[in-house]
Amino acid sequence: MENNFFVDSSSLSKKALEKKHMLENDPTSRTDHMTYMKGMEKIDSDIMEKVIAEMNGYDYTKYTAKDVAAALSHESCSIDDLKALLSPAAEPFLEKMAQKARNETRKHFGNTVYIFTPLYIANYCENYCVYCGFNCYNSINRMKLDMKQIEHEMRIIAESGIEEVLILTGESRAKSDIDYIGDACKLARKYFRNVGLEIYPVNTEEYEYLHQCGADYVTVFQETYDSDRYEQLHLMGHKRIFPYRFNAQERALKGGMRGVAFSALLGLSDFRKDALATALHVYYLQRKYPYAEMSLSCPRLRPIVNNEKINPLDVHETQLCQIICAYRIFLPFAGITVSSRESSSFRNGIIKIAATKVSAGVSTGIGDHESKYTGKESSNAEGDEQFEINDSRSLKKMYKDIEDEGLQPVLNDYLYV
């Protein structure tokens, strides 16, 4: 991999610089990324072994145009068909893939596109993930909203018409503990019909508690399913432990969450293998928990504060479209989210083919929805963003653009009884 993910560290203390340098250059200074840390729950599951075995055995160079044509002719998509559709041989078939994906989307989701917005409530982090703007060695403005500030942000978002919110924090138990996140969920339930969480992975009983507080679903990015590459990118913190992160969605379902979402961050490693592993993670878990709602996100790397050179290696819009179409053909019932990391033109196009959910009115910073939604100066202090977004459309603009594409924007379709 040629991408240099390391951020500017000129403002760090001498001791912090020495630790950072040691972690980056001496693998023996890092903890074993496959060994659980104290307090991490182990569950009895063989899904990780199945997914990793399929991914490691995937040779996408062996697939031919004949294999792709056969995969597209089948009524249902097998694992081997998926491998063909993710291979380079499938790129000339992108229009046919898009047509098949569109038919599957309309069959299972109709003409609808769901809209939500993310709400970052804290950006403190204890992990050193070298590609992330929140990482503990990146010199950014850190902030944690209190409950009054969180409610202020939620009220502003809700007044715009948004009915689904995704609550996010940096991965720091010390700054964003379970009680803090649970209290945020309780507030969110006052303002929104659907509440999601994208936080650090936790144990089953903690997911159960957060569900009782009002959370409906959990999103976890595995980032990359290549455990060797994962070890090189996650140098310190609880996130370094690969299997604990992998099993987070299953623990969330055991804790009573209605739904779970999955993703690799495309561009960190071999994107074709990561896309295969993501889809199979959903596939195997869906068969084990058939009642659960499953969805995928399809993010690519974006520039971060102090490193504007980060870009998704080899994952261009053509490849991203190929991946999303393959996901839809293989997993016709799964929701597919395309975030504001992508351009408005790409998102306008992909919702007509395979994506079923988009974000609007997005900020990845802390405490700045007032300025974004009302044009007024924010009454909250602001913390730096996790990454740069590419599509900054408001809910009103997004809603209209979806209608202009001949689709039906949906803000909520859940009733609580």
Residue 415: pLDDT above 90? no
Has residue 347 been placed in a domain? yes
What's the predicted TM-score (pTM) here?
Answer: 0.92
Query: Between the CA of residue 389 and those of 173, 340, 342, what are the distances in Å?
Result: 26, 6, 7
Provide the residue range defining the domain that includes 389: 107-410
State the total domains in the chain. Answer: 1
Look at residue 55 and tell me if it is in a domain: no
pLDDT surpasses 60 at 8: no
Distances (CA, A) of 156 to 159, 216, 236, 335: 5, 21, 36, 27
Three-class SS of residue 302? coil
Tell whether 40 is covered by a domain.
no
pLDDT confidence tier of residue 219, bands split at 50, 70 and 90? very high
Tell me which amino acid residue 106 is: R
- What is the predicted pLDDT for the residue at 162? 94
Q: Rounded to an integer, what distance in angstroms lies between the CA atom of residue 323 and that of residue 265? A: 13
Residue-wise pLDDT for 340-394, tens only, equals: 889 899 999 999 999 999 999 887 678 766 665 566 665 555 655 555 677 888 8
Domain assignment present for residue 403? The answer is yes
**pLDDT tens per residue across span 249-259:** 999 999 999 99
User: For residue 1, what pLDDT is reported?
Assistant: 42
pLDDT at 210 over 60: yes
Checking if the pLDDT of 151 tops 60, the result is: yes
Other beta carbons less than 10 A from residue 83's beta carbon? 26
Question: pLDDT tens-digit profile of 257-302?
Answer: 999 999 999 989 999 999 999 999 999 999 999 999 999 999 987 7
What are the structure tokens assigned to 340, written together?
């504001």
Cα–Cα distance for residue pair 340/148, rounded to 1 Å: 27
Answer whether residue 140 shows pLDDT above 90.
no
Residue 59's pLDDT is 98
Give the count of beta carbons closer than 10 Å to the beta carbon of residue 379.
Answer: 10
CA distance 81 to 96: 14
Whole-angstrom distance between the N-terminal and C-terminal Cα of the chain? 51
224: domain CATH number?
A: 3.20.20.70
* Residue owning tokens 């594409």: 405
Average of per-residue pLDDT across 145-161: 96
Query: Is the pLDDT higher at 139 or at 63?
Result: 63
pLDDT above 80 for 311: no
Mean pLDDT (the chain) is 90
Per DSSP, the chain holds a count of helices (H) and strands (E) of 16, 11
- The reported pLDDT for the residue numbered 305 is 57
Model confidence pLDDT, tens digit, residues 16-75: 788 888 888 889 999 999 999 999 999 999 999 999 999 999 999 999 999 999 999 999
d(CA 101, CA 266): 20
Contacts of 222 (CB under 8 A, 6+ apart): 245, 246, 262, 263, 264, 277, 278, 281
Q: Check whether 2 has a pLDDT greater than 50.
A: no
What per-residue confidence (pLDDT) applies to 301? 78
User: What pLDDT score does 137 carry?
Assistant: 83
In a domain? residue 89: no
Per DSSP, the three-state class of 406 is coil
Q: Is the pLDDT of residue 245 over 90?
A: yes
Strand positions, DSSP E, 48-199: 112-120, 128-129, 164-168, 194-198
* Residue 231 included in any domain: yes
